[in-house]
Amino acid sequence: MPFIPHTENEINAMLESIGVKQIDDLFGEVPKELRAGELTKIPHGLSEMQMTQLMTERGAQDGRPVCFIGAGAYDHYVPAAVWQITTRGEFYTAYTPYQAEASQGTLQLIYEFQSMMTTLTGMDVSNASVYDGASSLAEAILMSVRANRKSKSKRILVPRNVNPTYRSATHTLVNGQNIELIDVPYDADTGCINLDALKAFEGEDFAAVVIQQPNFFGSLEDVDAITDWAHANNALVIGIVNPLAMSILKPAGQWGEAGADIACGDGQPLGAPLSSGGPYYGIMTCKKALVRQMPGRIVGRTVDEDGKEGFVLTLQAREQHIRRSKATSNICTNQGLVVTASTIHMSILGAAGLENAASQSHLNTASLVEKVCAIEGVEKVFNSASFHETVIKLNKPAKAVLDAMTNENIIGGFDLADNYPELGDAILVCATEQRTEKQIDQYVGALTKALSEV
């Protein structure tokens, strides 16, 4: 978005109006020992032309490789109309809609988004939104500790096959509140939650059990059995879901006899391009009984005094976000623009379009895995059903193989060595609906060549 800075005269006029001599005086309450001081390592400012040239050069460094990596961010097709509409001024510059009378368009869009997310996840209520998928899990865990009246503990069962970035970020965000995340091992054959391992925790007090569906390895969990086990042990169920996968899989609200209590995840698969890492946004839905514990903005539909339909922020008053320790959450960042893109994306594709994208992603990954496992030295690690990601094992160092594949303009997958060293030279591969048969064959060729050269 174009940025026009204030002139020196405008700045001086504003300072004079509030009775301050210089901008630094506005920060007088911050002790000097806490200030950064002079930022000596920041380079001098560039002109608009120089800045544009620099960013163009840096953007070109990313290249245009064919992407077979997933691991939480996916290269799905985004119709051109999505961001053409999203970046119209009405959406692009709209501020947080605290004043309902001036923000009906934005409020209606958010309401439509919430309705779509509850439909996808099978839950009662949705917010819009939180910062990203990792913080949505942290917020869901904080929410479960507050909401579970049957539990007196701050202990959460978190399987090791949950996205490691989510686990790490969540630990950072909840550790200060003395919440303990207990690892649950996965089965070595299936990559799924080990039900026998869960039974070892029976009778203990846990506030919640986390289930990722599909899990980080792409495998499909027995969500019904795990959900019923958790509820039988007085724990809430937090489902981490891929919203696109929910278009063809059983939604979280229908897991087991009573359904998951909270569903969270990242909205990136719905209209957000990879963009070198973001921005993305976190989704969160829940049962109606827990809605007062839900952080973030929630929009409701009502009628005005003339009986006309209208939309308002509900339950989450503005003051709640500045009440510090008494607020539902201290994370009030949302990603309104990307939520707008997701709403438009889902509207354009419709239910059938989302299902087609998910189904084709599944078929493409199955085709990829079948072809690469025919290569000598490559095998599938887990024997479970999967969505659009799978773990394969190589007979050569995974990092070296992936590096060699980049020379063929192929991003070959996610190296699991740092997070799951027990799997050896294993990589997580993904093929979305964008991958063509030609590109899959190029992947097979690049992998074959890399294995022979490393």
Angle between helices 398-406 and 437-453 (to 10 degrees): 120
Looking at the fold, whether 187 and 272 belong to one and the same domain comes out as yes
Looking at the fold, whether 238 and 89 belong to one and the same domain comes out as yes
Inside any domain, residue 1: no
Stated pTM of the model: 0.89
Domain end position, chosen among 297, 325, 344: 344
Mode of pairing for the β-strands spanning 389-394 and 410-411: unpaired
Query: How confident is the model at residue 98, as a pLDDT?
Result: 78
113 vs 122: CA distance, rounded Å: 14
Q: What is the pLDDT of residues 414-446, one digit of tens each?
A: 999 999 999 999 999 999 999 999 999 999 999
* CB neighbour list of residue 412: distance below 8 Å, 6 or more residues apart: 68, 69, 401, 402, 405, 406, 427, 429, 443, 446, 447, 450
Number of folded domains that form the chain: 3
Q: How many other CB atoms are there within 10 angstroms of residue 322's CB atom?
A: 9
Query: How confident is the model at residue 93, as a pLDDT?
Result: 81
Inside any domain, residue 278: yes
Query: How confident is the model at residue 59, as a pLDDT?
Result: 85
* CB neighbour list of residue 316: distance below 8 Å, 6 or more residues apart: 295, 296, 297, 298, 328
Looking at the fold, whether 331 and 369 belong to one and the same domain comes out as no
Q: Which helix (H) or strand (E) holds 183?
A: strand 180-184
Looking at the fold, whether 330 and 403 belong to one and the same domain comes out as no
Inside any domain, residue 368: yes
* Tokens (6 digits) for 360: 């084709």
CB 92 within 8 Å of CB 1? yes
Domain end position, chosen among 326, 344, 362: 344
DSSP state of 47: -
Looking at the fold, whether 219 and 254 belong to one and the same domain comes out as yes
Inside any domain, residue 429: yes
Looking at the fold, whether 254 and 121 belong to one and the same domain comes out as yes
Residue 388 φ then ψ, to 5°: -135, 25
Residue type, 431: A
Inside any domain, residue 2: no
CB 340 within 8 Å of CB 279? no
Looking at the fold, whether 160 and 257 belong to one and the same domain comes out as yes
CB 259 within 8 Å of CB 269? no
Query: How confident is the model at residue 158, as a pLDDT?
Result: 98
CB 163 within 8 Å of CB 216? yes
- Please report, for residues 17, 101, 104, 318, the alpha-carbon distance to residue 98 in angstroms, rounded to integers and kept in the order given: 26, 9, 10, 7
Query: How confident is the model at residue 61, as a pLDDT?
Result: 86
* CB neighbour list of residue 136: distance below 8 Å, 6 or more residues apart: 130, 264, 265, 266, 282, 283, 284
Q: How many other CB atoms are there within 10 angstroms of residue 112's CB atom?
A: 17
pLDDT tens for the chain, residues 1 to 454: 456 678 899 999 999 999 999 998 998 899 988 888 788 888 888 988 999 999 999 888 888 899 999 999 999 999 999 999 999 988 888 777 878 888 999 999 999 999 999 999 999 999 988 999 999 999 999 999 999 999 999 999 999 999 999 999 999 999 999 999 999 999 999 999 988 999 999 999 999 999 999 999 999 999 999 999 999 999 999 999 999 999 999 999 999 999 999 999 999 999 999 988 889 999 999 999 999 999 888 999 999 899 999 999 888 655 555 666 677 776 656 688 999 999 999 999 999 999 999 999 999 999 999 999 999 999 999 999 999 999 999 999 999 999 999 999 999 999 999 999 999 999 999 999 999 999 999 999 999 999 999 9
Inside any domain, residue 366: yes
67 vs 454: CA distance, rounded Å: 21
* Tokens (6 digits) for 423: 């799997």
Domain end position, chosen among 344, 370, 395: 344
Query: How confident is the model at residue 1, as a pLDDT?
Result: 47
* CB neighbour list of residue 425: distance below 8 Å, 6 or more residues apart: 393, 394, 395, 396, 397, 398, 401, 417
Residue 366: give its domain's CATH number. Answer: 3.90.1150.10
Q: What does the H/E/C string look like for 288-340?
A: HHHHHHCCCCCEEEEECCCCCEEEEECCCCHHHHHCHHHCCCCCCCCCHHHHH
Looking at the fold, whether 339 and 376 belong to one and the same domain comes out as no
Looking at the fold, whether 248 and 361 belong to one and the same domain comes out as no
Inside any domain, residue 447: yes
Query: How confident is the model at residue 323, as a pLDDT?
Result: 66
Inside any domain, residue 3: no
355 vs 167: CA distance, rounded Å: 29
Looking at the fold, whether 91 and 39 belong to one and the same domain comes out as no
Looking at the fold, whether 273 and 398 belong to one and the same domain comes out as no
Residue 145 belongs to domain spanning: 80-344
Looking at the fold, whether 167 and 257 belong to one and the same domain comes out as yes
